[in-house]
A and B are shown apart, each in its own frame.
Chain A
Amino acid sequence: MVDASKLQQKRKPSADTFLPLSRVRTIMKSSMDTGLITNEVLFLMTKCTELFVQHLAREAYSESCSKQSGETLKYDHLSQLVNKSKNLEFLLQIVPEKIRVHEFQEMLRLNRTSNSDDDDESASESDSEAD
């Protein structure tokens, strides 16, 4: 609730869009089986995508680098956010967590021997931190 009111304080409702409508239309068309997109729907979709961009940036930033200002928002902050937010599940394949090659090999090895315990996973994580 607090979040929503903050959002509204920051931005005034307006009929202007920053993202190009034509591009958003192309994106929408790529998924729709019916061709007709009204101007109103296109406007709403564009606005909504803008909000999403800012939501993603704000959340990832406040999760990872909140207190100190002048921090850099990095890819890892985003993948962490995607990993733990339920409503961002659809991005798991798009913004995957990066892993090291030897971690991946470890994963493969564990899969083959088919005893992928939680203990083993956390052990490999602390290994990588020691590197």
Chain B
Amino acid sequence: MVERIEDLNLPNAVIARLIKEAIPDGSNVSKEARAAIAKAASVFAIFVTSSSTALAHKQNHKTITAKDILQTLNELDFESFVPSLTQDLEVYRKMIKDKKESKANNKKDASTGDAAASSSSVAAVDENGDANE
């Protein structure tokens, strides 16, 4: 739970950097504007979370999924975010998968041939499962 209200603020330096990236070089941001954007971002996160939760509950799911968030963004008129986010998510999932695989490989190296055969067959099943999605 949140103990202090400041715990809901996003770090100023990161916000400043993100803003700088978005506007042309050589332009400035007033302190007030930066504070307002930071506040808006926190509220946005809460807003999207609660909307996604409502959506998940409507489908009788207890926890929200990536799909719920993307669908919520569409409903809230932020559909321009969805293509980039989908790409990011792909990269993220691949990274997680690679991590898992390298872990499995490490195990394989350490163990006997039998274990290697079974773990590679598990990996094959995983790949099929992903393709079906």
Contacts and interface: CB of A to CB of B under 8 A. Distances in A.
Interface of A: 3-4, 7-8, 11, 13-15, 18-20, 23-24, 26-34, 36-41, 43-45, 47-58, 60-61, 65, 69-75, 77-79, 82, 86-87, 90-91, 94-95
Contact of A47 (B32, B38, B63, B88): B88
B125 interface: no
A69 B24 contact: yes
B124 interface: no
Interface of B: 1-2, 7-8, 10-11, 14-15, 17-19, 21-30, 32-33, 36-50, 53, 62-66, 69-70, 73, 76-78, 80-81, 83-85, 87-96
Contacts of A41: 63-66, 69
Contacts of B89: 40, 43-44, 47
A72 B29 contact: yes
A30 to B, nearest CB: 5
Contacts of A31: 46, 49-50, 53
Contacts of A51: 81, 84-85
A37 B66 CA distance: 10
Given A14-B88, A34-B53, 13 more contacts: A13-B88, A15-B92, A29-B1, A31-B53, A32-B49, A36-B63, A40-B93, A48-B45, A56-B41, A57-B19, A61-B24, A69-B27, A94-B36
A78 B92 contact: no
Given A45-B48, A53-B41, A38 B83 contact: no
A13 B33 contact: no
A40 B66 contact: yes
Given A27-B42, A27-B45, A51-B81, A13 B87 contact: yes
